[in-house]
């Protein structure tokens, strides 16, 4: 009886099916290994040096997206480029300079200069064309940035959140998730199950299972909006994935719980 209860909880718990994608077309990198390059921009406005930003990216990748065993995604640090995107006018100007199957990280002042952007810690985006994808991550280096006040753990969470966008994930309404739409002063050392289900949906470990998961087309468009709609992901593909996960949990469950 308890086994049935576990499966029902997995199927109907609101947090399980709350993740979203940045676009209904489910943009994703074609290769599971994605490199993160860092532009040699002026990062002094973040309160960190370029080397410190590099270390934060490496640690964030390890703590979050590289830790999901049911996802094939693997983030690796590429190189520090000589480009300077400190004054790039928007995210399109950055993502357009990223290499194919790479995420370009930078610090920026101009994107975050308008009054309504001063409190934003960073932005992440993904752009795909003809099956080739590029990603971008920009950290707020504007003079009014609040990043100098953030702890190292809060910075890692911020970077992980924006890289989540660069990988194709949208926001979720699950407060405990790294991809929750309010990232302000968030500090956590691991992903929530909602985050893991989202990244496994986009980058499943087993490509045969991936065909099943990829059949779901009811992902809401959220992007970087601050007010996500209720619901989010759904469809037969995700439910099938949750069902399989439930069976695996039951197989590992002690006999006295069954």
The model's pLDDT over 153-174, given as tens digits with 9 standing for 90+, comes to 999 999 999 999 999 999 999 9
The predicted structure's pLDDT at residue 245: 54
The predicted structure's pLDDT at residue 179: 96
Task: Tell me the backbone φ, ψ of residue 129, rounded to 5 degrees.
Answer: -150, 125
CA distance 104 to 34: 11
Record the pTM.
0.77
Task: Give how far Cα 50 sits from Cα of 14, 141, 147, 179, 240, Å.
Answer: 40, 12, 14, 25, 43
Buried b (16+ CB within 10 A) or exposed e, 148-182: eebeebbbbbbbbbbbbbbbbbbbbbbeebbbbbe
| 7 within 8 A of 250, measured Cβ to Cβ | yes
* Topology of the domain comprising 2-257: Collagenase (Catalytic Domain) (3.40.390)
- Of 43-57, 91-105, 190-204, 224-238, the one with minimum mean pLDDT is 224-238
| 22 within 8 A of 89, measured Cβ to Cβ | no
Q: Report the chain's mean pLDDT, rounded to a whole number.
A: 80
Whether the predicted pLDDT of 189 surpasses 70: yes
Residue range 128-143: average pLDDT? 95
68-123 pLDDT tens trace: 999 999 999 999 999 999 999 999 999 999 999 999 999 999 999 987 686 799 99
């Amino acid at each position: 009886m308890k086994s049935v209860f576990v499966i029902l909880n997995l199927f109907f718990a609101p947090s399980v099916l709350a993740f979203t994608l940045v676009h209904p077309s489910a943009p994703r990198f074609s290769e599971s290994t994605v490199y993160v390059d860092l532009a040699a921009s002026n990062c002094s406005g973040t309160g960190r040096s370029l080397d410190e930003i590099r270390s934060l990216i490496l640690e964030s990748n390890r703590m979050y997206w590289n830790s999901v065993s049911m996802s094939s995604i693997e983030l690796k640090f590429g190189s520090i480029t000589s480009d300077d995107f400190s004054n790039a006018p928007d995210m399109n100007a950055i993502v357009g300079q990223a290499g194919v199957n790479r995420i370009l990280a930078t610090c920026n002042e101009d994107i975050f200069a308008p009054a309504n952007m001063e409190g934003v810690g960073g932005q992440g985006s993904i752009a795909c064309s003809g099956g080739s994808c590029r990603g971008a991550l920009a950290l707020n280096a504007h003079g009014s940035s609040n990043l100098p006040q953030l702890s190292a753990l809060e910075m890692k969470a911020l970077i992980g959140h924006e890289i989540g966008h660069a990988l194709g994930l949208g926001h979720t309404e699950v407060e405990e998730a790294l991809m929750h739409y309010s990232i302000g002063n968030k500090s956590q050392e691991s992903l929530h199950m909602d985050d893991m289900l989202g990244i496994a949906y986009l980058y499943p470990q087993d490509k045969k299972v991936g065909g099943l998961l990829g059949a779901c087309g009811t992902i809401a468009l959220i992007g970087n909006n601050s007010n996500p709609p209720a619901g989010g992901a759904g469809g037969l593909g995700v439910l099938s994935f949750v069902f399989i996960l439930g069976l695996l949990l039951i197989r590992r469950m002690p006999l006295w719980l069954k």
